[in-house]
Structure 1
Amino acid sequence: MAYRYGEYHDGPDPLAPPYDVRAALDEMGDAILSGSTPVHALRDLLKRGLPGAGDRRGLDDMLREVRRRRRELREGGRLDGTLERARALLDKAVGQERAELFPDPSDEARAREAELDSLPDDTADAIQQLSSYEWRSEAARRTFEELRDLLRREVLDSQFRGLRDALANPDPEAMERVRRMMTDLNDMLDKDARGEHTQADFDAFMAEYGDLFPEKPRDLAELVDVLARRAAATQRMLASLTPRQREELGNLMTQTLDQAGLSEQMRRLGEALRARRPDLAWDSTERMTGDEPLGMGDAVTALEELADLSRLESALRQDYPGARLDDIDEAAIRRAMGRSAVDDLEALKRVERELEEQGYLLRRRGKLELTPKAVRRLGETALRRVFASLDAGRRGDHDQHDAGSAGELTGSSRPWRFGDEQPIDVVRTLVNGVRAGGLRTAGGSPSVALSVDDFEVAETERRTAAAVCLLVDLSYSMALRGTWAAAKQTALALQALVASKFPQDAVQIIGFSNYARVLQPDELAGLDWDMVQGTNLHHALLIAGRHLDRHPDFEPVVLVVTDGEPTAHLLRNGHSAFEWPPSPETLELTLAEVDKMTRRRATINVFMLAGDERLKDFVDEVARRNGGRVFSPSADRLGEYVVSDFLKVRRTRRH
């Protein structure tokens, strides 16, 4: 096969490695495990950028660049440059004419000087009056023509970016071509308004006048966008001048267009553009603080760019309802920051798309949710963090050694007992038979006679099954105290630990506030606290008890994470009753469920996240009745405490 290589012109870097969205999920996980929702975590990721993918810029970096560019433009010049230069050329022409008239002693020369003395202060009126003046000085005449050419170029450039260069040299044919272009453009817009315009019409227009439009629009809609943005910038420039400057420059523009025979066509075009793009800021003002005087065309270009940057800044902030990355105009990004920024934006858009396509995010009823696949990964991350905080002496596997049939061989053996399902240790069984005198020779071949007492089984590590209940307080106080994020991380870590290391266990995570409910693994990461009153531990223990009763042969493990005493209980009709301070009935019913757990041989270990005296009294009573332990970890060590305690509980004695 033959390959051909050419110069790289545009588009994403073809050699850039694809972005691993698992890294994006891990970045989101930091926020989610700290209590953020998936939607907010994703938005925060897009604002920060994508590390490890060529260090793609995020929305915040782009926003800083846009604001820097806006500041540079505002400080780069002032808007009255054309007026200043027009006045300077006018004064120069009048001075040259006076120099020519001064040596002449005739009355005609004095009359001309008087006419020059009576010129109005308004630059436009003065130019209008001098348009019929017969110059004595050839130098003054050339200066005045330079002034008129300047105004013609600047006024037309303020409307069409490509006309200043086209009209650099005075050429009647060039002006006539501009007139034809304006007429054909307005006719094309009228035809489009009637629904008769075709792409062929536009292509024919661009074939004839394309050199006047450096933006190279591909269709009429793009051309209208280009012209409307520039026309709106021209209006903003006029609105940003002082009233005196605005009147003077406006008169100059009107006068120039009249002399060029373009007033009517420009009026038609302005009305059509404003009707098609009323969303543009036509009449707003912009403050320019620089010292450099800008020509009219350059001033309009600066204001046009400032308007683009203002809209771009609003889109990049993404702080309005329903904000999406698709709202960001890629063309505006390219104009403001170049091609690389377009690639960065596309990478950000691809992250959300890939997270869904690769099965980490699910959009359900307009809401972004984590899938079980994503929750498993975040749980593993939380678990790694927990184990990273454990000291070396408390690490390692938590399996128990027992003569079970499952697990790895320990290297030792024991006598076989009825009911054992462990593998037979063949070598030691034969050795026992030989030692007992069972070696025989029959037909020249040795054999060993074995009895029941000779058999030994290989000892293995066995994992006993447990019914695990983690009861997590979801009440509003958990968020107020800043402990909710730690509780969620702990639930995820325990879920991941059981799923990966103890698949035979039956784990149930129960959240409780005014009511209690079973939490499914796929909703843990996106779980939020409940803004309700009530800590209904009574209901949570009822649900946990049913889970333990469904697994009577499993080792019961009950862990409670809370920051407050019970303030609610479940009524017989299924409703929740809240009262603070806790009513005697709430405490009585909750402790009754604690007693039922004790009869099930389930030890309740409580992880207390607050130091309230009433809570201490309650958990001390739970410990006295049940025999469980009470822990008071800080929020950042909650996961370590819960996982460590679970591992200890899961260790059983050697049979």
Structure 2
Amino acid sequence: MAGNRFRYGVWRDGPDPLAPPYDVRAAVDEVGERVLSGDNLRDALRDLLRRGPRDGRGLDDLEARARRMRREALRRGNLDGAVTRAQQLLDQAVAAERDELRGREGDDARFQEAVLDNLPRSTAQAVQELSDYQWASDEARATYQQILDQLRRDVVEQRFAGMKDALQGRDPATDARVAEMVGDLNELLGKHARGEDTDDAFQQFMAKHGEFFPENPQTIDELVDSLARRAAAAERLMRSLSPQQREELAQLMDQALGNGPLRGQLAELTDNLRALRPELNWNRGERMRGNEDLGYGDATAALGELGELDDLLEQLGQEHPGATLDDVDVEAVERQLGRGAADDVRRLRELERELRRQGWVTRDEDGLTLSPKALRRLGRTALAQVFSDLSGKKRGSHDLRDAGAAGDLIGSSRRWQFGDEQPLDVVRTIGNAVRRRAGGGVGTLPVRLEPEDFEVAETERRASAVVALCVDLSYSMFADGRWGPMKQTALALSHLVATQFPQDSLQIIGFGRYAMSLSQGELAAIEPDMVQGTNLQHALKLAGRHLRRHPGAEPVVLVVTDGEPTAHLEDDGQAYFNWPTLPETVQLTVREVDLLTRYGATLNVFMLGEDPGLRRFVDAVAKRSGGRVFSPDVSELGRYVVDDYVRSRRGKR
């Protein structure tokens, strides 16, 4: 519109509405990087939410802010300000009364001075003793009355946010309305505690007394939550005072509330709310210090804030079993930490939901874990990292020039040679004959074929292989920084087999003191164990079982280890460990090597480290089995294993 001027600035009202949605795949890749570098899977998933994705803040930042605010709240002031202020007002009233009496003559004035001289040292008792005192000074009378009126107003207003205007003076009609409201509220909470249907009763209560509740609760649970937090803060105030201060304040509150029904109704309300919300910190005291004496309302507000911060810290900690970001009270986060912090929680909550909705993670009794979909992506990432190291290097062709039953055309052809069994490439064969005749100047027809014209279509034989990858899970692999590369290698090989050689059968076998078959998910989540032992014999035994389940396939066994065998299985199936290595352990391990060799398996060992005992052992195994020994740098382990797998799986000619 002509003449209008617009000003543009940073969006400050919550999450940017034009920001692109967060790519959860980036979060999965971030977790994958941690896993492939050797970190624990569950810790990586947990840290994603605790530290936040790369472009946002996480739970740790929010928790640190909540702890900082809690420390600041503890320095806000002294909690006994209600008693201190009462004492100050009492001193002012007594001083004003003495000034008035000093100018009067007669025994009555002297008697009243004597009463003031003998007041108890206790503020509450002094206030009680002066309840029937006939004040000579109007100023003193008003100041004294302010002690009880202010405390009464603070107590009731602290419980009900809408009471501020209604309690400006001691109006009997107002007192009756307040007492009626508290009585109706206790009746409503009693029905709710008994499990009765209170929907209609709640609506009727709010229609009648809604003016006292400006927060406008929409359900009875919202009403209970609000009232219970306030009541718990009042109880915590009493628990935070010394016994003498607690007794002083309790007596002053009793006097302020008077002998009417309100005092008993408030006590009943506290009992009802405690029964409905027992999980709140009703009995926890706090040690607050500061230069300011906090009145009753300010002190309970500070303690209510501390209680809410305590709840937030527990929610943000996510330590309890089955914890999710849905447990975090976003409204409480906004009240205590601000709109930006609430938006951060919403983003993290949306990220967690999207990870589950899109199938990247699943939840079990121990928390979040990667789904098969995410594990496939993790394997693809691992394989990509392995192949990135192969750039410029020959990756190990596995093409076979004979056409087996599993031969696939690859789009190229070559000149026919005697003995070839590949199908003829008819188009190229006839084309060769036509070009030969045209080049000789004799025309193109008729076409006569010569032996040199024939071409055959090249095929790639998809030879089936059965592969056992045995990976060392002993603690030395973790301690020496080989855990992450080991996981990366196994996941990369698993993904390569699943996507490029689906006719192959891969089994990943981890071995420490015992050996076990591992799925992709189990491998990604496995953690190092402090138990000593390198039971290669058990691993090779499991490898042999896997090979024999797939007769006719090319058998391949790959072993990744950083130590010589130090454990073997006894006849009863129990593992026996000893260091240094026993001859019996070596003999039993070699026997499994011989069984694999007689079965026709290729057995190659990838030796990590320079342990002399391991070097002697693997050299002997290589000579005995006809396999090979590799001693790669740990950073090149994946390249060596994948490359050797592709080479080793070539079919027999």
TM-score where L is the length of structure 1 = 0.84
Tell me the distance in 2 between the aligned counterparts of 1:175 and 1:365: 54
Q: Are positions 1:42 and 2:45 aligned together?
A: yes
Q: Secondary structure at the match of 1:50?
A: coil
Query: In the alignment, which of 363, 376, 399 is matched to residue 397 of structure 2?
Result: 399
8 Å contact kept, 2:424–2:454: no
3-state SS in 2 of match to 1:63: helix
Cα deviations across residues 467-502 of structure 1 (Å, max 9, x unaligned)? 543221234554455533332221001222333444
In 1, the alpha carbon distance for the partners of 2:262 and 2:333 equals 34
Q: Distance in 2 between matches of 1:9 and 1:162?
A: 31
Flag the 1:363–1:47 CA change in 2: closer, same or farther, 3 A. Answer: closer
For residues 505 and 265 of structure 2, what CA distance do their matches in structure 1 show?
A: 81
Distance 1:356 1:631, change over 3 A: same
Q: Which amino acid aligns with 1:22?
A: R
The answer for the alignment partner of 2:6 in structure 1 is: none
Distance 1:420 1:285 in 2: 88
Q: Is residue 2:497 matched to residue 1:498?
A: yes
CA contact 1:35–1:528 (8 Å) conserved in 2: no
Counterpart in the other structure of 2:421:
419
* Separation in 2, partners of 1:205, 1:339: 32
Aligned residue for 1:292, secondary structure, equals: coil
Report if the CA contact (8 A) 2:396-2:643 is conserved.
no
Q: CA 1:422 to 1:81, structure 2 compared with 1: closer, same or farther past 3 Å?
A: farther
Trace 1:59-78 onto structure 2 (pairs within 5 A): 59-78=59-78
1:4 is matched with: none
Report the Cα distance in structure 1 between the residues aligned to 2:369 and 2:73, rounded to whole angstroms: 42
C-alpha contact (below 8 Å) 2:415/2:452 kept by paired residues:
no
SS state of the match for residue 498, structure 1? Answer: helix
Q: Which runs of 5+ in 1 are unaligned?
A: 1-7
**Aligned in 2, Cα 1:139/1:569: closer, same or farther, shift over 3 Å?**
closer
The 5-angstrom pairing of residues 355-434 of structure 1 reads: 355-362=355-362, 370-388=370-388, 390=389, 392-394=391-393, 398-399=396-397, 406=408, 408-409=410-411, 413=415, 418-421=420-423, 423-424=425-426, 425-426=428-429, 429-431=432-434, 434=437
Which shows bigger deviation, 24-33 or 473-482?
473-482
Shift of 1:399: 3.3
Structure 2 distance, partners of 1:519, 1:401, is 30
8 Å CA contact retained: 1:433, 1:448: no
Deviates more, 1:479-488 or 1:78-87: 479-488
Label 1:73 to 1:422 Cα distance change in 2 as closer, same or farther (>3 A).
farther
The range that moved more, 8-17 or 99-108, is 8-17
Distance 1:451 1:506, change over 3 A: farther
Map residues 251-270 of structure 1 onto 2, 5 A cutoff: 251-258=251-258, 262-270=262-270
Helix, strand or coil: the match of 1:208?
A: helix
**Distance in 1 (alpha carbons) for counterparts of 2:590 and 2:567:** 13
Question: Which residue matches 1:3?
Answer: none
Is structure 2 residue 282 aligned with structure 1 residue 279? no
Note if contact 1:413-1:459 (Cα within 8 Å) is conserved in structure 2.
no
- Give per-residue Cα distances to partners, 1:369-408, cap 9 Å, x unaligned: 54432221111122233344x27433x6543677577465
2:52 and 2:545 map into 1 onto residues whose CA distance is 47
Which SS does the other structure have where 1:525 is aligned?
A: helix
Give TM-score, length-normalised by structure 2. 0.85
1:231 matched residue in structure 2: 231
CA distance in 2, matches of 1:373, 1:309: 38
Letter in 2 for 1:108: D
Quote how far apart the aligned CAs of 1:39 are: 3.8
CA distance in 2: counterparts of 1:23 and 1:620, whole angstroms: 44
1:595 Cα deviation (Å)? 4.5
Aligned-pair identity in percent equals 51
Shift of 1:168: 3.4
Could you tell me how far apart the structure 1 residues matched to 2:545 and 2:442 are?
A: 58
The CA distance in 2 between the partners of 1:13 and 1:182, in whole Å, is 44
* Number of the residue aligned with 2:641: 642
Find the aligned partners of 1:651 and 1:614 in 2 and give their Cα distance.
32
Is the 2:334–2:341 Cα contact (8 Å) retained in structure 1? yes
Distance 1:120 1:317 in 2: 50
Q: Could you tell me which residue of structure 2 aligns to residue 124 of structure 1?
A: 124
Cα distance change on mapping 1:169 and 1:520 into 2, 3 Å: same
Q: CA deviation at 1:285?
A: 0.9
Partner of 2:310: 310
Structure 2: tracts of 5 or more residues without a match: 1-10
Coordinate RMSD, CA, aligned: 3.8
- 2:147 counterpart SS class: helix
In structure 1, the residue corresponding to 2:345 is in which secondary structure? helix
Matched, 1:606 2:605: yes
Aligned to 1:511: 510
Aligned residues of 2:395 and 2:643 also touching (Cα < 8 A): no
Distance between the aligned counterparts of 1:236 and 1:628, measured in 2? 74
Give the match's secondary structure for 2:446.
Answer: strand
Which residue does the alignment assign to 1:141? 141
Is residue 413–residue 455 contact of structure 2 (8 Å, CA) maintained in 1?
no
* Residue pairs, 1:430-441, within 5 angstroms: 430-431=433-434, 434=437
**Equivalent residue for 2:630?**
631
SS of the residue corresponding to residue 279 of structure 1 reads: coil
- Residue matched to 1:5: none
Judged with a 3 Å threshold, the aligned counterparts in structure 2 of structure 1 residues 545 and 432 are, in CA distance, closer, same or farther, namely farther
What's the CA shift string for 1:98-145, capped at 9, x where partnerless?
222323344433333222222222222222233333333233233233
Q: Give the aligned partner of residue 186 of structure 2.
A: 186
Contact 1:380 1:493 in 2 (8 A): yes
Q: Is the Cα contact below 8 Å between 2:415 and 2:454 reproduced in 1?
A: no
Amino acid paired to 1:560:
V
* Distance apart, 1:169 and its partner CA: 5.1
Structure 1 residues 550 and 143, CA, compared in 2 at 3 Å: closer, same or farther? closer
User: Which amino acid in structure 1 is aligned with residue 559 of structure 2?
Assistant: V
**Pair 1:588 & 2:587 matched:** yes
Q: Summarize deviations over 1:4-23 as a string: whole Å, max 9, x none.
A: xxxx9999776554443322
* Pair 1:400–1:438, CA change in 2 (3 A): farther
Q: Is the 8 A contact 2:160 2:227 kept in 1?
A: yes
Question: Mapping of 1:476-625 within 5 angstroms?
Answer: 476-479=475-478, 481-503=480-502, 505-528=504-527, 534-545=533-544, 557-569=556-568, 575=573, 578-580=576-578, 581-595=580-594, 603-625=602-624
* Matched residue SS, 2:218: coil
- SS of the residue corresponding to residue 119 of structure 1 reads coil
Give 2:301's aligned residue: 301
Q: How many residues align?
A: 637
* 2:537–2:569 contact (8 Å) kept in structure 1: yes
CA contact (8 A) 1:513 1:534 kept: yes
